[in-house]
Structure 1
């Protein structure tokens, strides 16, 4: 059984990963991070950290998802990250443009969700920038071992938590 949610880690990201989940995560890791002798040597030569067992629990389910699903999760993450700016925006046309860019159902679902603690207090950016913020969060949440394939990987626990919420919201609409 997966770990329960704690303040610093969402459920399923801890060390106690069940056998089926571990096998699925190992297969996912193998697809995205070469494990042969040559791949390990290239990692060491380039100064990248080795893949650790702890990285398995940090691999998100959306890593192998179709592009449309990943884009929906990124949009939800960007909206969650900028939620305070959305709540304080008075311009109906700007909010309508943002809702049109991400889809009305997703926009409404994020606006009804509880405001996460990681939210930014900046002014509401353009819809394109909101989507870019979400895409950056997708990569930031990934373990450092995936930096060769995802240069933005930072093993950011706060981004992982925000993405877990975004993933749940996006999946509830599917």
Structure 2
């Protein structure tokens, strides 16, 4: 199956004047090319940065031409996205509609500040009911951390852990 691609972003080969070798081009042509990506090409920041890296590689490593003025070019930044945060009332409404294990997980996600994968990877030995702590192993950046166990979830979690311990005993027998 052949997929039709949209309009391609300009590349140095397509955007350079015919018959001119890159070694004959200087700051104005290279700057114009990189600017055309952002303005006319409407490409993502990562594509702009990749093009800049390609130009740097071409001139420094292939043509062995040093372009000190190119070091001053600022790399494109990805737009910063703000997270969507629910209000306290919205969180309560969501939590009220859940039951069982999904409810327990949602309380841990919200109350202990766990990420979804961290919650899914929790083990019995990671929960310390006596000191109201949860050990999160291999979290973001593969780092371990300790977080608090919310008082609101403690009774439900204690019951759940007891059910899991009993199931484990039966499985081992």
TM-score over 0.5 (shorter chain): no
TM-score normalised according to structure 1 size: 0.20
Bigger fraction of residues in strand: 2
More helix by share: 1
